[in-house]
Amino acid sequence: MSYLRVYEPLSAFGDPPDKLLVQAVEAAQLSRSAAGEREQSMWLRSQITSPSRLLPAELADGRAAPSTTTDVLVLDEAEVPSGLGSEPLVCPLELRARSAAALVSFMSDAHPALMNSVLDSGGMTADRVRTRAKAALSGSHRPVVHVLSTTWTVPLPWFALIEPDERRLTLGTGRHDPARELSWRTTMAEARARVTEAHSLVENTLGDSGPARILADTSRWLESFNAKSAVELDYGGIVQMIADPILETDTTADEVHGILEALRSGNVEELAELFTDLREYWGELAARERFN
């Protein structure tokens, strides 16, 4: 799973912030590499508990568990992009709210037969599920979550938010090393400016569907957060599927920016070549989703 995260200044979470949140930020026990395992653990726990929970990080009566406040990623001063000050930057996992949003999407898009099968197996009605999901979303600090995630691939428009030279690469000792990482980190101001420019360029040349729609949605999402935030694009668990030589020479960010430049200059030949390279590179990873 790959991630697009926003880390907000601690002061953006209230004046003063919740004491449990402050303590979690000071402890900073959850690492970026452990976040995926934590999410998986919370998911599994919600299903094996008797009775099972509709959403992870939720108590039996439907209220949010304390972990919704304390499960946070924290950037220390050395990891913060310049110009954001010395205040801790915090990214809540918000697994309960993210799961609720996914559930609402499922209820809207799933085939009726599949939806009814899922509801019957859980002994719940559609109205009850929607009510519980809405309650989980309304209890969030923000009307949007701090983390967007996808499985098996990375949406290419996300690379417009970062610059290739902002790359952070750690190969570690192999594919299953928890320290293994490929990510990019930038300031909110830079991310907003880049996505706005990319959206305008793509919409004017390719139309308002596909990549342009993703860029527009991402731009609106970024506007929901504090201007002094940091934005992180992280390959997450995808790095476990890519061999060292390929990961080390990954040029996706460069090629996406090359596509944007080709759109500016009208270089159709270069544009086609870059699209072909990206389709071949990511097609193999995306194909694994169909086999799982």
Q: Which amino acid is at 208?
A: D
Token look-up 């476990």 returns: 240
Domain span holding position 167: 148-290
- The pLDDT profile of the chain, 292 residues, written as one tens digit per residue, is 899 999 999 999 998 999 999 999 999 889 888 888 888 888 888 877 777 777 888 888 778 888 888 999 999 777 877 777 778 999 999 988 888 888 877 877 777 888 777 777 667 778 887 877 777 777 666 778 999 998 888 999 999 999 999 999 999 998 889 899 999 999 999 999 999 999 999 999 888 888 999 999 999 999 999 999 999 999 999 999 899 999 999 999 999 999 999 999 988 788 888 888 888 888 877 666 555 4
Q: Round to whole Å and give the CA distance between 24 and 72.
A: 7
**Could you tell me which of 263, 265, 259 has the C-alpha nearest to residue 279?**
259
Helix (H) / strand (E) containing 187: strand 181-187
Q: Is 1 domain-assigned?
A: no
The answer to the question of residue 174 being in a domain is: yes
For residue 65, report the phi and psi dihedrals to the nearest 5 degrees.
Answer: -75, 155
C-alpha distances in Å from residue 60, one per residue of 54, 64, 65, 93, 271: 9, 9, 9, 20, 53
Structure tokens at 33: 């590499």
Total domains in the fold of the chain: 1
3-state SS, residue 185: strand
Give domain status of residue 274, yes or no: yes
Give this prediction's pTM: 0.89
Asked if the structure places residue 278 within a domain, the reply is yes
In a domain, 162, yes or no: yes
Q: Please check whether residue 98 is in contact with residue 149, taking contact to mean a CB–CB distance below 8 angstroms.
A: yes
CB 21 within 8 A of CB 70: yes
Residue 142 lies in a domain: no
User: Using alpha carbons only, what angle is made at residue 102 by residues 239 and 232, rounded to the nearest 5 degrees?
Assistant: 40
Q: Is residue 93 part of a domain?
A: no
Q: Is residue 105, in this structure, part of any structural domain at all?
A: no
Residue 82: closest CA among 226, 192, 228:
228
Cis bond upstream, residue 143 (ω within 30): no
* Residue written as token pair 């159709």: 268
